[in-house]
Amino acid sequence: MRVTEIETYSAKRSGQKAGTANVLIVDGDSGSVRLILEILARKGICANLTNDKKTAIEFLDKNDCDLVFTSADINRPDDGFELLRAIKRNSPELPVIMLWSPATEWKQPRSTQGSPRKNISSELSVPALSPSAALRVNSVEGVSVAKLVETVVRAMSAGCSEFLIKPASREQIQMLLDTFVPSHSVWTAASAQQASHCLYQIVGRSPKLVQTIALAERIAPTSAPVLISGESGTGKELISLLIHQKSKRALGPYIKVNCAALSDSLLESELFGHEKGAFTGAYAQRKGRFEMANGGTILLDEITETPLRFQAKLLRVLEEQEFERVGGNENVRVNVRVISTTNKDLPEEVRHDRLRRDLYYRLSGVRLEISPLRERPEDLPELVWHFVNLYASQANRRITSLDPVMIDIFTKYDWPGNVRQLRNVVLTSLILGIGPVLSLADVSWLFDELQPLPLAGLTPFRSGKAGPAGPDGMDEGRLTMDADRLSCLVPLLPQGQACPRKSGDPSYRGLGGIPLEQVERRAILDTLRQTAGNQARAAKVLGISDRTLRDKIRRYRQSAPGLTAEHAENAERKTPSQTTDFTDSTDLLFSSVNPCKSVSKKNSAISAVSAAK
């Protein structure tokens, strides 16, 4: 019987709130369909079933899908291949798994009585047929090898990701699902779906994120303008969409405008529209974004990038909910809720006359601030698994665990690009790495990039207080040390000379009074410890040449008190992880590795001892 409508089977696992994968099954074989549905239900994956090619194509045109199972012959020969070609025309990256039944295909002619029937698995060379995808077949008797090979090659050439012979085993299907549709559980703080399409999914469990979402849900039912501030990549657009979906305007339009991407001449026409003949090229009347958002919400992304002249007109729209099109005289009334986002310090922008003060007060009727990722370390593992679920299929990798060293590096890193940067790091690791464990071991340049710099805390912090300008022209009153970041500098101090972390402590003295040579020496030794004694990598982190670093290490070795051959032997026996006390720096200096030299560390140590003597 042909099923001309899609049957949907949804089963969510406990704790899984959104982001459920969507799988389409196009097959009329009840045995195969029953097995696939059972496995999908156990994994909490939504299944959509049909045995009609046309219905399947229509479903894919209207819905998002993560994986397709299709039979080679749905209702007639070559139906599966026609569906495969149609899918690859519209969605070339969508993985398709083809199921082939020998009962409906060519049979091998019966041999003479007494001759053994051939087993296809012993004659079919799987890697030669599919070097990019692991072809999994069962032992099938009585099937023409030549015809099967022809069918497999034809399917792979058309873009098929995997080819299975019925009846497929449970282990085969589970492994394919883990590869193409990973469904690792992640903690979702907020989400919304429309049919099979996920509108938004905010992943994380940190208290700061939960508090921000709770405030957004409280202000959503109102019509007050909202100003969302936060660093680039923190998810301001997701919070904006959440407010719209939770508001009474959820059924209305949601229009986004990137103010930074529009020039001054186009911004007014884009937002307010124009009349026919208003300027060269205006051949017809055009509605602006405000008019298109009538009855809904408009998002003004990067509102601080707009010119002051436009800000005056925007203020009128916010106050009176009416405007004139460019080149027109009639007032156009709208009912629009305005949500604005920015990644800048708005009081600072107002102080420097880059944002009108009255517009700032009007926009910030309700203000939300999203914390950067470095202040939400609890969200890192959840976000990494979320991106694994999204992108593992592109790399054709089955990820079963995360490298603890990688998570430790992520926790210590500053993440200036926030969640957007983390997404790109995970995607790069998935594509360039190998094996079931996600790590940075196979991407050395990414490992180096994510290493925290020893002097990362020496950045100016603006306290907001004006003061006299120093000799270099900088405002001394507004350039202070970020006391909370001084903790990373404590290992740079000599032994027994600790530095309080709080500037309010009466005994607080920072780095004052410490010779610069000692600070430099300690920074070099700590960097060598972080890089496991690799001099080339340490020089790159410190921003100096390899030769400069070698010269400094040579001076440290020559000036080390009590330098004997015993130190060299001890350093040779110790590993970097065993060397924890670097106050006496002799062992570390001997354990540092310079990959540019072919001599052994022991020979280097003996040479250094001879030079010291």
Token couple for 95: 């993985």
Instruction: Check whether 229 has a pLDDT greater than 90.
Output: yes
> H/E element holding 402?
strand 401-402
pLDDT at residue 169 tops 70: yes
Q: What is the pLDDT of residue 267?
A: 87
pLDDT band, residue 531 (cuts 50/70/90): confident
Instruction: Please determine whether the domains at 7-180 and 207-369 fall in the same fold group of CATH.
Output: yes
Residue with tokens 């290493």: 451
> What is the pLDDT at residue 552?
86
Task: Please report the pLDDT score of residue 43 as a whole number.
Answer: 85
275 vs 546, residue with greater confidence? 275
**Phi, psi (rounded to 5 degrees) for 422:** -60, -40
Mean pLDDT in residue range 521-534:
83
What is the per-residue pLDDT across 78-135, written as a single tens digit (0 to 9) for each? Answer: 888 889 999 999 888 899 999 988 765 444 344 434 444 333 333 333 333 343 343 4
Class of CATH domain 373-449: mainly alpha
**Residue 123's CB: how many other CB atoms inside 10 A?**
11
Helix (H, G, I), strand (E, B) or coil at 467: coil
Say yes or no: domain 207-369 is CATH 3.40.50.300: yes
The residues near 411 (Cβ < 8 Å, ≥ 6 apart) are: 377, 380
Q: What is the DSSP letter of 399?
A: -
**CATH number belonging to domain 7-180:** 3.40.50.2300
Average pLDDT over residues 335-362: 91
Q: Which residue has the tokens 């004997």?
A: 564
Helix (H) / strand (E) containing 359: helix 357-363
3-state secondary structure 537-605: HHHHHHCCCHHHHHHHHHHHHHHCCCCCHHHHHHHHHCCCCCCCCCCCCHHHHHHCECCCCCCCHHHHH
At residue 337 the predicted structure's pLDDT band, cuts being 50, 70 and 90, is very high
Please state the domain extents for the chain.
7-180, 207-369, 373-449, 516-613
Q: What is the pLDDT of residue 363?
A: 87
pLDDT for 243: 96
337 vs 393 pLDDT, higher one: 337
549-566 confidence digits (pLDDT tens)? 888 888 877 775 544 444
Global pTM reads 0.65
Mean pLDDT in residue range 161-190? 89
Average pLDDT value over all residues in the chain:
76
